[in-house]
Every structure is written in C-alpha cells, then in structure tokens.
Chains A and B, each alone.
Chain A
Amino acid sequence: MSGQALSTRARSVGAHYAVQLPAPDDFAFWRDQARTLVQCEVPPDRVSWIEPGETGDLFAQGGASGLTERPPEPDRDSRPARASKRFLSLARNAALHSDPERFALLYRLLWRLQSNPRMMEDKTDLDVRRVEELDKSVRRDSHKMHAFVRFRQVENAAGPEGKDAHYVAWFEPDHHIVRANAGFFMRRFANMNWSILTPRGCLHWDGETMRESGPARRSDAPDGDPVEELWKSYYASIFNPARLKVGAMLSEMPKKYWKNMPEAALIPDLIAGAQAREASMVAAGTREARERPDSLAELAQAVGNCRDCPIADCGTRAVMGEGAQRAPLMIVGEQPGDQEDLTGRPFVGPAGQLLDAALAQAGIDRSAAYVTNALKHFKFVQRGKRRIHQTPTAKEIDTCRWWLESERAIVKPRIILALGASAARGLLGKTVSLKTARGIPITLEDKAELWVTAHPAYLLRLDGGARAEQAALFAADLAKVQARLNAFTSGTQV
C-alpha cells in the first residue's frame, strides 16, 4: 500500500462518522458522502447513516469516543471511489427501501467493490443478494404505485371534465418511492391537474410544474367519484366466474392494497357467488350425464318428463314421433300444433292432412316412414279460446335436438326429409336458408341423406298463384325424395 494511503487511513482509524441524511430517499447525497468516505478509506463499521427523524443514539452508545459528524477531507491525489454500473442501478433503487440498514449495506458493498470490482456478478454473495432483494421490492412497490393509484375527481366550479378539473389520489407505498415516480405520472397525465397524497409526502402537478409537500393523511383525500360506479360494474362484469383463481389474484394484488381501491370491495361477494354462477350455467343445459334411451318406448317416456326448456310447461303433453322402428325415411316437422298436442300424435292437423295428400301423390307410403318433429312440445300463446302457434327460438330447437338425435340413433333412417327451416336447424345445428338448401341432398355425419323442403303449414297460409307455385315445388321435392328412396330400397345406390 502506498504511503499516501497509509497516511489517510491513519487519520481515520478510530474515528466514527455519523452522516445525517437530509431526506430518506436522497440517493445523490448518500453517493457524494459515500464517495468521500471511501476515498478516505473509512471502513464500513466506522460509519453510521442517520435518516431524518432519527437521533442516531444507537450509534452513540457504542462509539461515544470518536463520534464526529463532519466527514473527513480526502487527500487530493487519493484514488477516487469506483463502482460498477450494475451497482449504481441497484443502489439507486435500494436507497428508496424502508429498511433502516439500507445505506449501511450500500456503503459496505461499495467498500468491498473497491478491492473486488466484479463482486456484483457473484450472485451467491449475501450482500449482493440482499441489495438485489431491496431493489426488487422497491421496483415492485413502484410498479404497484403505477398500477393501483386511483384518482378521484374533485368537484369543481368549471364543471366535470372541464379544463380545471382536479384529480386527487391517496396511496400508501411501502417504501420511499413517491418522488422517484413523479416522472411517470407527469409523462402520463401531462395535461391534467392532479395530486398524489401519501403518508411519505405528496406530489402536485398543475400541467406545468411539479410541487412537493409533506406527508398527508387519508382524510385529506376525497372519498368518492361517480365514475367509480361504472368502474366497479366493469370489474364485476369482466370477471369470469368459471375460472376462479383467488391465489393468483392475491399474489399480484395483496390485501394491503385493497382499502384504497374502490373495486376491491366487490371481491368477497364475487368469490362467494362464483361457484353458484358456474354451476347454474352448466346446469342450464347439462346433458352429458344422461344416457340415450335404447328404444322408442323408453324415449317416449323420457321425453314426456323433459323440462329442459320453458315450452315443456306450455302444452298438454310431449308429442313423440311415430312410425316404423327401422324406417328408411324419417320426416321431420317443426313442432306439434294444436290438434297434435291434443291427440298426442304428429301431423294429424290441417298441415298433416296436406302432407298426407302430397305424400300419397308422390307415391310415398307414410306408414312405412317415421314421422316426427324437431320440437316435441307445442309452443303457443293463448288468444281467447284459440292457441296461436309461436315460432321456436334457435336455442329451443338446439335444446330439443338431443331428442331428435336420439330418435335418429334408434330409427337409423337412410333418408331424412326436413320440413321447414326449424326442422333443418334441428338436424344440422345451424340455420340454413330454405331457398338455397332445398332440392340438394346434404350428407349428415352418420351418412344419412338430408333433403330440405318447405313446411306444409307454409302452403296453407298462401293463396292462389303463390300457393300453386309452392305446391308444385313441394311436390317436386317429394318426387326427388321418392326417387332416392326407391334407389335405396331396391339396393342400387346412385
């Protein structure tokens, strides 16, 4: 060691230095002091760092002898203190931590860095690990401040959202991070008047200058804002009850922050209601556990007890399909009508009679076919003594589809004739336009051939030329089906 260094050391040996920091987050001041002390080779155990508000008597007990508040003067040609970039960036954050030992730790690290410039790379060193921990928790605290500060608009003469509206927030940071984060809020809310009040000091921005003031109390901050109702309802609506993960929420938004976040008041109820909401969603359409009946008789019984949709409570009874157990042709209508509901048989009313006539004309034997409906119950509204037919919703058709599929699984028809758009949806699971779908066979998943045509009730509602035209189309569709049916029954598939 050079003579110069020896003389510096000689001067500092035995002396204790107590450094009074002007502010708990004054990193620049610490850096200047630490630089000088290192240069004078004052070892870490001879320096104590005193934050404002502390007396430093802890130190006075141990070293009353050489206590001095004045830092030494370094020799002009002594070696300047050196620090790596990594150290500086960590120290800048760690200095903001609320740990009272932080400045001593930083000084110790700086001291050790002089003899081992690459010490910061040794992640297994305890001091290095500690400073990294401090840095990490300060960064996290800053990040949470960016995230969880909630401004409330203060009533202002200029009116809401006016140029002079003032936004005030109350936040409780864990560390001395307020001043360090002023820039973030300034860049973001540059053209807004805002204040952030905290127990560690406050920030005020008026669109041009940043002002600081001393600690505030929660009661200094406003306690409400009408927009919070919208925000809370957004928070409750965006939450998906089917995927409750409370732990994941708590790790990112610990309870200590909740009291200053308006939306957090909803959390207990959202969690409590979640399982119930999911269960009701699943129950609303649950079907997976139900086994398909094996025979038409079982099916008829089961469909009678079905209460999967509101229509089930509408009519007298469920109307099952009827016909041969293994019919090659299945004819599907929309839903039972007034007379079908009363008799419990499909296609017996006016539309049924029209269908019978058309089938006979086309040479199709109804008794050899299986006739059913996409929906098994009659949906109507009561008008006086009359029950007026109501078109089923897509949802109702889709719900009843399970029964239709069960019937198909038992009857196993080669050809299916869908009468009308509702029947087509019941078979396909999607809505098709009658105009484009009719006349062209669609192959279903089980290889059955689906033909779509109009519902006979549609013909009943037309008169004159239009009826004749539609009747001709209907007859033509049935004729095509008859031709296919012949091809299948004679065993020659075309």
Chain B
Amino acid sequence: MAQKSLLEKLEILADAAKYDASCASSGTAKKNSLDGKGIGSTEGMGICHAYAPDGRCISLLKILLTNHCIFDCHYCINRKSSNVRRARFTPQEVADLTLNFYRRNYIEGLFLSSGIIKSSNHTMEQMVEAARILRDEYDFRGYIHLKTIPEADPELVRQAGLYADRVSINVELPTTSGLTRLAPDKDERQIEGAIAKTKDDIIEAKDARKRFRHAPRFAPAGQSTQMIVGADRASDADIVGKASRLYDSFGLRRVYYSAFSPIPDASAVLPLQRPPLLREHRLYQSDWLMRFYGYAPGEVCEATDADGNLPLDIDPKLAWALKFRETFPVDVNRAGKEMLLRVPGLGPTAVRRIITARRHRTLRLDDVARLTQSIAKVRPFITALDWRPTTLTDRADLRSLLAPKQEQLELFAS
C-alpha cells in the first residue's frame, strides 16, 4: 500500500476525531515559557482559535493517533467493521504537527485520542509517547488532553496524567444495556474503574503538592467524560441521573453530551434518524442547572415530560418553573440568591447584579429590565416595587406565551 502523505493522514484522522465533543482548554494550571526553552502558555481561560460552521469552537488540534481499531462499537465510525479509509500517525508526527500549528497561533494545544491497535497497552504507550516528546523534548507548555483507554495498564494511564492537562475516558452510553448492545467489546465496570483510579491519582497528586512544592502535577485540568445521546433508548431522565452520579462519585469536571449524528458507513443496528440537536442542548442546560444553579438531579428530572425526556420547545428551567408555579412569584427585593436563581430568565450574573443593586434602591420592574436580557420571560415569576404578576403566573397558557415562537413553515416549500 502506498504511503499516505501527512496531509491525507491529517484529513482522515481529524475527520475521525470530530465526534468527540470536548474541545475545552480552560481551567488548568497557569504556565508560560519565559523560563523555558520551548513555547506555550496556559493562563486559565481557554481560547477558541477558530469556529467551524457547525458552531463548535476549535481550540485544540483534535486528532486520532490512528483510526484502525480492533473494537466493533456500532455507533463509532472507526469500528472494525467500518469501511472508512484508515491511517496512522507516528508519535513524532503528532508532536511536529502540534508544534507547527501552535507556533502559528492556530491552537491552544493537542487533544489526542485513538482507535485501539494491536492492544490497549500498545496504543496507550504510543499516545503517552507523543505527549512525552512534546513535553520533554520540545518543552511544550501548551494544553494537552489525552483520551485514556480504560483497558490499558493503570500505570500507563497514570503516565498520561503526568504529561496531560486533562485526561478523559468516555462512558459512551448512559445505560448498561445500551453499552452491551452497541459496544460489545466494552465493559462498564472496567470504564468506571478506570475513572475512579484517575480520580484517586488526581486527589493524591493535589495532596502531594500541598506538602511538596515540586511534586509532579497530575492532570491539573481534571478529567471529563462523554456520553452519546440518541443512539439507544435512554431517556433524558436516565442521562441526567447517570451524569449526576458521575459528577458525584468521580468529581468530573465535565460530562459532555454528543448527539448521535449519522456517520458515513453506519452500522445497521443504529437508528438512522438523528436525535434533534436541541436535545443535546437541553441536556447541557440541565447540566448547567445542576452545576451553577443549585438544582438537585431529582429536581431536573421533575422537569421532564411523561416519557422522561426534557421538553424541546422550552428550556428545562422554564419547564420546572411552570410545573412548580406555587414557588412563584419571587420578590426581587427580598428573595435569597437560591430563589432568584430559580426564576426563568435570571442567570447567575443577573442575580449577582440584582443583589448588589438592591442595596442601593428598592428595585422597580424597569431596574430589573436593565439588569437582564429579556424582561418578558422574567415578569410572570417576580414581584418588584411597582410590579405584581397577579394572575399571569397562574395562566394556563403561560407556556405558549413564553415558548420561543415556532418558525412559520413555508407554504409550497420544496
């Protein structure tokens, strides 16, 4: 077989990596290269160097080391039985490509994942080697995210954490039955075992750094995971439950949701209809509710419809508020932060502003309007000095008043 050029390999291996949702480069330890030989810095805030027409940020060089794979997971474009073109980078090529892009300010760093070649250990070794070349030989101080392989030797996974800013292992599917059916070669207990081990390593390294200033850092940006939405029959309630369990037991930084999207050469076991992208969006919103708004997972699940899925036409916070109308209206001049955060249309920033502003004056509806994006959404759920929603909060058609307008379908649309 003819050798593929670097350009061809990049096309194949970037194409294969695009189903990973994460591209975050934030929240790691601060580094710069003023006292080093190489290049790179991370200053807390992630930087999106470009945006693709799918609206997703391009922050990292997100590629696979190889898309050859001995596993046969149905949802994956790289599964053994798929007919895609295959390619393979050497660790050195990955390192050079990363540096070439980094020097031109295209990227914040590298996100390296891989199909499984030969064995899990062999693959993990190659990935760690790419990170090692970058860190040790080129003194690269940018961001590195390594996807670790749950079946690999824990010692190799630990090494990955020493080189990387973030490590992640995909739980892939929200239910055990889904995993057994769609990813026959994967094992839930093994995946969660590896996540738990990484959590322990992170805690241990943090603890060591408290006592010894030069103790090595271990994945300072923590670990994350990804779940595929819409490839099996799991409902949003199942997914939210699983996510909150993952946050609780493994201290994950993020759970990413990836709406299953049609892949070329799809397996016959999969649904061919893609779930609406909006479903993924609603799940992220519910994730936000749990992380920044103080909602318990159970409360998010209360916002779901009878089929266990979040409504698509309105966001989960509004759905919750409409279900629990007895909690409203909330007095913007007196209510505590927790209650204000429950008002649809008020985010953490607006709530913070309201709390500081009301120290100076008793707020009128106009004042609240200046502090928020849209007062129309907020109005039915608050009282202010000159505003009482009276019957508005209890109107039966409140949902349709607040739901975003549906686009009128075109007559005669082809």
| Complex Cα gap A167–B100 (Å) | 11
Interface string of A154-166 (1 = CB under 8 A from B): 0000000100000
Question: When A118-B360, A230-B10 are in contact, do A244 and B54 touch as well, CB less than 8 Å?
Answer: yes
Residue from A123, A187, A429 within 8 A of B357 (CB atoms): A123
Q: Does A153 belong to the interface (CB within 8 Å)?
A: yes
Whether B268 lies near A190 (C-beta < 8 A) is no
Whether A398 lies near B11 (C-beta < 8 A) is no
| Complex Cα gap A281–B80 (Å) | 19
Which chain B residues border A267 with CB–CB below 8 Å?
Answer: 53
Task: Please report which residues of chain B, range 103-132, place their CB below 8 angstroms from some CB of chain A when the two chains form the complex.
Answer: 103-106
- Of chain A, the residue at the smallest CB distance from B181 is A429
Whether B268 lies near A153 (C-beta < 8 A) is no
Which chain A residues border B14 with CB–CB below 8 Å?
Answer: 233-234, 237-238
Whether A231 lies near B101 (C-beta < 8 A) is yes
- Of chain A, the residue at the smallest CB distance from B32 is A187
| Complex Cα gap A278–B39 (Å) | 39
Q: Give the segment of B164-172, B216-224, B270-278 that binds chain A.
A: B270-278
Q: Does A263 belong to the interface (CB within 8 Å)?
A: yes
Task: Please report which residues of chain A, range 139-189, place their CB below 8 angstroms from some CB of chain B when the two chains form the complex.
Answer: 143, 146-153, 161, 167, 169, 184, 186-189
| Complex Cα gap A146–B142 (Å) | 14
Which chain B residues border A243 with CB–CB below 8 Å?
Answer: 54-56, 259, 261, 277
In the complex, the number of residue pairs spanning A and B with C-beta atoms less than 8 Å apart equals 207
| Complex Cα gap A225–B101 (Å) | 11
Q: Does A299 belong to the interface (CB within 8 Å)?
A: no
Q: Does A354 belong to the interface (CB within 8 Å)?
A: no
Residue from B45, B261, B272 within 8 A of A287 (CB atoms): B272
Question: When A118-B360, A150-B104, A394-B81 are in contact, do A240 and B33 touch as well, CB less than 8 Å?
Answer: no
User: What is the distance, in angstroms, from B174's C-beta to the closest C-beta of chain A?
Assistant: 20
User: What is the distance, in angstroms, from B82's C-beta to the closest C-beta of chain A?
Assistant: 7
User: What is the distance, in angstroms, from B55's C-beta to the closest C-beta of chain A?
Assistant: 3
| Complex Cα gap A20–B51 (Å) | 41
Q: Does B395 belong to the interface (CB within 8 Å)?
A: no
Q: Does B200 belong to the interface (CB within 8 Å)?
A: no
Whether A394 lies near B101 (C-beta < 8 A) is no
Interface string of B261-305 (1 = CB under 8 A from A): 111111111011110010000000000000000000000000000
Which chain B residues border A1 with CB–CB below 8 Å?
Answer: none
Q: Does B322 belong to the interface (CB within 8 Å)?
A: no
Task: Please report which residues of chain A, range 254-270, place their CB below 8 angstroms from some CB of chain B when the two chains form the complex.
Answer: 261, 263-264, 267, 270
Which chain B residues border A236 with CB–CB below 8 Å?
Answer: 11
| Complex Cα gap A143–B357 (Å) | 28
Which chain A residues border B51 with CB–CB below 8 Å?
Answer: 248-249, 252-253
Q: Does B15 belong to the interface (CB within 8 Å)?
A: yes
| Complex Cα gap A71–B10 (Å) | 63
Whether B48 lies near A188 (C-beta < 8 A) is no
Which chain A residues border B323 with CB–CB below 8 Å?
Answer: none
Whether A152 lies near B33 (C-beta < 8 A) is no
Residue from B43, B58, B259 within 8 A of A238 (CB atoms): B58
Range class of the A interface residue count: 35 or more
Whether A248 lies near B55 (C-beta < 8 A) is yes
Whether B53 lies near A123 (C-beta < 8 A) is no
Which chain A residues border B106 with CB–CB below 8 Å?
Answer: 150, 231
Residue from A192, A270, A393 within 8 A of B39 (CB atoms): A192
| Complex Cα gap A235–B63 (Å) | 12
| Complex Cα gap A11–B112 (Å) | 69
- Of chain B, the residue at the smallest CB distance from A183 is B32
| Complex Cα gap A118–B359 (Å) | 10
Which chain B residues border A29 with CB–CB below 8 Å?
Answer: none
Q: Does B52 belong to the interface (CB within 8 Å)?
A: yes
| Complex Cα gap A123–B36 (Å) | 44
| Complex Cα gap A207–B354 (Å) | 48
Q: Does A399 belong to the interface (CB within 8 Å)?
A: yes
Task: Please report which residues of chain B, range 1-44, place their CB below 8 angstroms from some CB of chain A when the two chains form the complex.
Answer: 6-7, 10-12, 14-15, 17-19, 32-34, 36-41, 43
Whether A169 lies near B105 (C-beta < 8 A) is yes
- Of chain B, the residue at the smallest CB distance from A190 is B33
Whether B33 lies near A187 (C-beta < 8 A) is yes
Which chain B residues border A286 with CB–CB below 8 Å?
Answer: 272
What would 15 more interface pairs be, CB under 8 Å, given A271-B53, A285-B266? A123-B357, A124-B357, A129-B370, A189-B39, A191-B38, A231-B104, A234-B14, A237-B12, A246-B55, A248-B56, A252-B57, A253-B50, A281-B263, A281-B266, A429-B267
* Residues of chain A at the chain B interface (Cβ within 8 Å): 118, 121-124, 129, 143, 146-153, 161, 167, 169, 184, 186-192, 225, 227-231, 233-249, 252-253, 261, 263-264, 267, 270-271, 274, 278, 281-282, 284-288, 393-395, 398-399, 401-402, 429-431
What are 8 sample pairs from A and B whose C-beta atoms fall under 8 A apart?
A147-B49, A186-B34, A189-B103, A231-B101, A238-B52, A242-B261, A271-B53, A398-B268
